[in-house]
Copies of this chain bind each other. A is one copy, B any other.
Amino acid sequence: MSAVAAATPDTRQRLIDAAIALFIRHSFAGTSLQMIADELGFTKAAIYHHFRTREQLLTAILEPIIDKLSAVVDDAERLRGVQARAERMLNGYARLAVENPMLVSVLAADPSVHTVLRANRDWTHMISRQMALLADVHPGPGGYLRAQFVFAGIAGSADPKREADDEWLHAQLVDAGRRALGLRPPRRTS
């Protein structure tokens, strides 16, 4: 069965989905390729066909969400005005959290993932730009703390097992973020 499974085009995606679920339960450091193989009834060879190491698998998992985050950062940086940029960053991050709650919680909360993230220069650079977009609302040391508070708050409250509607959740997260930052709501929603 495993040889057939490895040849199926969506095997890679099934591996990724199973890995994310295990990372959330056991953290990245606590999940072995063997555990992922067991979860899907694959042999380890079938996994090696797609990913040589756990780090390769983690990179494959994080890349799409980091690409989306980069796009939000680029988009926000194109705007003029600290308030408008923060508003765009906040909206975009809340959207990512609502649409990918499992991924955002792995990215934001798993200490062993942070260790891998910090080893990638492009990623740390992007994350510091992301922080600055909110931190600039309050120049000085309080601004950076406020930005950390808001990103951690959003990542930690987008529950993957929620019953709430996406639009409702997004509006709540943005509203909580605006209040914590002291950001005026825009006249029109963009």
Binding site for B on A (CB under 8 A): 23-31, 105, 108-112, 115, 141-142, 145-146, 148-157, 159, 164, 169, 172-173, 176-177, 179-180, 182
B164 touches A157 (CB 8 A): no
Instruction: Report the bound CA distance from A132 to B25 in whole Å.
Output: 25
Contact of A153 among B25, B27, B156, B172 (CB under 8 A): B156
Q: A157–B145 contact, CB under 8 A?
A: yes
For A151, the chain B residues whose CB sits under 8 A away are 156
**Residues B112 and A111 in contact, CB atoms below 8 Å apart:** no
Q: List, in ascending order, chain B residues with CB within 8 A of A182's CB.
A: 179
| Distance in angstroms between the alpha carbons of A147 and B19 in the assembled complex | 29
Instruction: Contact check, A27 vs B110: say whether CB atoms are below 8 A apart.
Output: yes
Contacts of A164 in B (CB 8 A): 141, 145
With A30-B30, A152-B152, A179-B182 given, is the CB distance from A112 to B157 under 8 Å?
Answer: no
- Chain B residues with Cβ below 8 Å from A105 are 111
Q: Can you report 16 residue pairs joining A to B where beta carbons are below 8 Å apart?
A: A25-B112, A25-B115, A26-B112, A27-B29, A29-B30, A105-B111, A145-B173, A148-B157, A149-B153, A149-B154, A149-B157, A150-B176, A152-B155, A152-B156, A153-B156, A176-B180
